[in-house]
């Protein structure tokens, strides 16, 4: 599982993905014809996530007091479990039961269901590797939970209060939206619970939401889901972009298929060696046929000693069995080679796409490394200009429409 933060002006990207509002997706494995299988545990009550946020602020459910205009006000939890786990337990129906329990954990993490904007289980993203391996469509079930990161904050009377008795006392308690306060930096610990230190002797700090993996695992185990694999705490494997993730999975598949091909080739060589040994044994008993001929033929029957006849029968049975196994191994080897070739081609295409994306975004990434705040401010300024331009265009269209009505 992972937790990501978003600004208000950037949450629409997640909204379009989670609610399947896009017509086309960069992830080619999203099959919209199966989107009716997606499960909504909580639907957004407003038209958009941003509008729901504004309404909650207006109603006083949450407060943005003290926040900067570009503060992170949305968080998203993504719960993700290995596809094979669901396939071995019943597939779609089991996934719905599993993530229904996960949603209970999400409500606890968010501090209450009232702070959750949307919770959707996706069941329309095809797992290509598992589908190819099993010969049917297999889907990757996972849960998206968008929520507001809130903490309880006490507002106290200031020293300028006219009533001395009230000074420093709690005036009101608000639920403040704050990602940094919801998920502060905490000391990293090892498996024995001891703090992990940096080279300078100071404790190494990690974001507290990196510890959610342990909470997720423990909660599901207590709920009776005891046989799924635990994720690696603090691992960044789940933070890869979709394209990087597919490249990684394709590389893994190619490596597995290569190992499988080598294993099949070794088995085939061993089988061929056995066939040669049997062929040699058959040549050794060639004198049996000669002796059978010299003894004469009665109609179409050959007279042989019992021991020679048993030897021939054993050789024939062993040869037939090994030939059948050889044909089966040859077929498996051919199928493995075809799958390996297809995976290599897919990997090559993904790597080309990834290289193109990395090349195209290199100036931006370099700028973010050198001056992240300035770049973010610049991009935010462009977005604001674009929004202002759209607003002016809408205003001009309305004015023209009013002029035509007159």
Copy the structure tokens of residue 89.
Answer: 């337990």
Q: What confidence score (pLDDT) does residue 238 get?
A: 39
Q: Of 115, 124, 116, 118, which is closest to residue 95 (Cα–Cα)?
A: 124
Q: Where are the domains of the chain?
A: 2-238, 256-346
Structure confidence at residue 125 (pLDDT): 93
List, in sequence order, the alpha helices (H) in 74-122. 83-87, 92-110
Rounded to the nearest angstrom, the gap between the alpha carbon of residue 16 and the centroid of all alpha carbons in its chain is 18
Domain 2-238 has CATH 3.30.930.30: yes
pTM of the model: 0.58
Give residue 296's pLDDT: 47
Start-to-end CA distance of the chain, whole Å, equals 59
For position 38, what pLDDT does the model report? Answer: 97
Please state, in angstroms and rounded to a whole number, the distance separating the CA atoms of residues 331 and 391: 64
How high does pLDDT run on average in the chain? 80
pLDDT band at 239 (very low <50, low <70, confident <90, very high): very low
Does the pLDDT value for residue 104 go beyond 50?
A: yes
Tell me the CA distances in angstroms from 267 to 253, 270, 285, 330, one per residue in order.
21, 5, 27, 10
Nearest Cα to Cα of residue 39 among 94, 76, 112, 115: 94
Element spanning 351, H or E: helix 306-370
The DSSP code for 54 is H
**Which of the two residues, 48 and 310, has the higher pLDDT score?**
48
d(CA 148, CA 115) in angstroms, rounded, equals 6
CA 281 → CA 120, 275, 285, 348, distances in Å?
67, 10, 6, 49
Q: Over 60: is that where the pLDDT of 119 sits?
A: yes
Name the least confident of 31-35, 158-162, 334-338. Answer: 334-338
Give 251's pLDDT tier (boundaries 50, 70, 90).
low
Which range is most confident: 18-27, 122-131, 224-233, 241-250?
122-131
What average pLDDT does range 372-382 have in this prediction? Answer: 79
DSSP assigned state of 159: T
pLDDT of residue 274: 65
The tens digit of pLDDT for each residue in 291-313 reads 555 544 444 555 656 676 677 67
């Amino acid at each position: 599982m992972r937790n990501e933060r978003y600004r208000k002006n950037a949450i629409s990207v997640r909204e379009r993905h989670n609610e399947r509002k896009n017509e086309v997706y960069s992830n080619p494995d999203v099959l919209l014809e199966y989107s009716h299988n997606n499960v909504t545990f909580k639907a957004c009550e407003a038209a958009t996530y941003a509008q729901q946020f504004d309404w909650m602020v207006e109603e006083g459910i949450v407060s943005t007091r003290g926040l900067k205009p570009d503060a992170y006000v949305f968080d998203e939890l993504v719960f993700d479990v290995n596809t094979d786990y669901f396939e071995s337990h019943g597939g779609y129906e089991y996934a719905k039961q599993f993530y229904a329990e996960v949603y209970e954990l999400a409500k606890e993490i968010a501090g209450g269901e009232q702070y959750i904007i949307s919770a959707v289980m996706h069941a329309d993203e095809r797992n290509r590797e598992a589908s190819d391996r099993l010969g049917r469509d297999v889907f990757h079930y996972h849960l998206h939970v968008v929520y507001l990161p809130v903490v309880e904050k006490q507002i106290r009377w200031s020293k300028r209060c006219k009533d001395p008795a009230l000074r420093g006392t709690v005036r009101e308690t608000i639920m403040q939206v704050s990602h940094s306060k919801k998920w502060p930096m905490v000391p990293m610990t090892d498996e024995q619970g001891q703090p992990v230190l940096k080279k300078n002797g100071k404790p190494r700090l990690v974001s507290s939401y990196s510890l959610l993996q342990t909470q997720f695992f423990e909660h599901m185990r207590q709920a009776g889901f005891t046989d799924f694999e635990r994720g690696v705490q603090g691992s960044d494997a789940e933070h890869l972009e979709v394209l990087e993730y597919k490249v990684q999975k394709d590389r893994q598949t190619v490596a597995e298929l290569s190992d499988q091909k080598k294993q099949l080739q070794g088995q085939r060589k061993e089988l061929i060696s056995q066939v040669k040994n049997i062929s040699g044994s058959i040549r050794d008993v060639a004198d049996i046929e000669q002796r059978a001929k010299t003894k004469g033929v009665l109609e179409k029957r050959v007279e042989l000693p019992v021991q020679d006849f048993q030897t021939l029968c054993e050789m024939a049975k062993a040869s037939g069995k090994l030939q059948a196994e050889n044909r089966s191994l040859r077929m498996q080897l051919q199928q493995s080679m075809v799958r390996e070739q297809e995976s290599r081609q897919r990997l090559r295409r993904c790597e080309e796409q990834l290289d193109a994306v990395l090349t195209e975004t290199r100036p931006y990434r370099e700028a973010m490394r050198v001056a992240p705040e300035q770049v973010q401010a610049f991009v935010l300024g462009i977005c604001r200009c674009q929004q202002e331009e759209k607003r002016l265009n809408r205003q001009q269209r309305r004015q023209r429409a009013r002029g035509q009505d007159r």
